[in-house]
């Protein structure tokens, strides 16, 4: 009998032999197997993708951590350099302050020494005037020279200049005199002015040297 609930094609196929029924079952099985295979592939692919993402994230995280550590180390080194530079500037500023203070003290001593040297200059001008004058006897000039040698030797502010050799050189070799009618005594002499300039420079130099020595002494004590 004809089953009204079955489609004609299905009814005819069900009446056919086992071989035809197997074909029909195979036809139904292929899509099912395809779906199963796709499901397995999808599951495997997703698992591999997830694992790859985890590994990639781990690599990125490690690289990022290394980068951050490198930046932190670089920042720390830069900070240490800045602190060292700041300390050096502070030390330099402190040394400069101490040097200026020591130099002020030495400058006071230098001014007194320059005043004494000014007196030596006056005595040399008088000695050169006597040398260039026909009216002043040689004995008087020699007496002036000896007095000047004694004066500079006993003056403690000039003792470190060791002026004796320079003075004797002036007395022996400075024969420069201005014209006969000259009224400016400072125009006489030549070598003596070079020595006076040299002695002034020596006083300034020695003031700086004593100030530096005072700073070195402070550093040594520290």
Model confidence over 49-61: pLDDT tens digits? 666 666 666 665 6
Q: List all residues 6 or more positions away from 61 whose beta carbon is below 8 Å from its beta carbon.
A: none
Contact 199, 187 (CB under 8 A): no
Percent over 90 (pLDDT), the chain: 37
Q: List all residues 6 or more positions away from 6 whose beta carbon is below 8 Å from its beta carbon.
A: 14
> Of the candidates 177, 87, 72, which has an alpha carbon nearest to the alpha carbon of residue 130?
177
Confidence at 202, pLDDT banded by 50, 70, 90: very high
Cβ burial of 27 (10 Å; 0-12, 13-18, 19+) is exposed
Establish if 195 belongs to a structural domain: yes
Establish if 77 belongs to a structural domain: no
Confidence at 98, pLDDT banded by 50, 70, 90: confident
Establish if 74 belongs to a structural domain: no
Establish if 12 belongs to a structural domain: no
Establish if 8 belongs to a structural domain: no
What b/e string do you get for 131-150 counting C-beta neighbours within 10 Å, with b at 16 or more?
bbeeeeeeeebeebbeebee
Handedness of CA 15, 18, 23, 27 (dihedral sign): positive
Extract the tokens encoding 156: 């403690």
Residue 13 has pLDDT above 50, yes or no: no
Extract the tokens encoding 79: 């900070």
Contact 25, 32 (CB under 8 A): no
Establish if 67 belongs to a structural domain: no
Establish if 90 belongs to a structural domain: no
Kindly give the interhelix angle for 191-221 and 18-132, rounded to the nearest 10 degrees: 140
- The pLDDT value recorded for residue 130 is 94
Confidence at 88, pLDDT banded by 50, 70, 90: low
- What is the pTM (predicted TM-score) of this model? 0.58
- The pLDDT value recorded for residue 212 is 86
Quote the domain boundaries for residue 173: 96-221
- The pLDDT value recorded for residue 211 is 87
Kindly give the interhelix angle for 18-132 and 8-15, rounded to the nearest 10 degrees: 110
Establish if 168 belongs to a structural domain: yes
Overall domain count for the chain = 1
């Amino acid at each position: 009998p004809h089953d009204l609930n079955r489609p004609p094609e299905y009814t005819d196929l069900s009446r056919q032999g086992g071989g035809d029924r197997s074909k029909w079952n195979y036809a139904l099985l292929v899509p099912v197997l395809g779906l199963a295979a796709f499901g397995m592939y999808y599951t495997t692919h997703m698992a591999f993708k997830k694992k790859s993402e985890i590994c990639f994230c781990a690599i990125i995280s490690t690289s990022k951590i290394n980068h951050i550590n490198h930046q932190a180390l670089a920042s720390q080194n830069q900070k240490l350099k800045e602190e060292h530079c700041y300390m050096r500037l502070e030390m330099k500023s402190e040394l400069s302050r101490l040097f200026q203070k020591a130099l002020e003290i030495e400058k006071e001593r230098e001014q007194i020494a320059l005043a004494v040297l000014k007196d030596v200059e006056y005595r040399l001008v008088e000695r050169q005037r006597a040398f260039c004058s026909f009216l002043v006897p040689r004995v008087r000039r020699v007496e002036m020279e000896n007095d000047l040698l004694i004066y500079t030797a006993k003056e403690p502010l000039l003792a470190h200049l060791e002026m004796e050799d320079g003075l004797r050189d002036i007395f022996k070799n400075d024969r420069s005199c201005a014209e006969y009618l000259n009224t400016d005594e400072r125009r006489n002499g030549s070598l003596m002015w070079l020595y006076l300039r040299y002695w002034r420079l020596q006083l300034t130099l020695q003031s700086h040297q004593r100030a530096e020595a005072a700073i070195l002494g402070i550093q040594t004590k520290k």
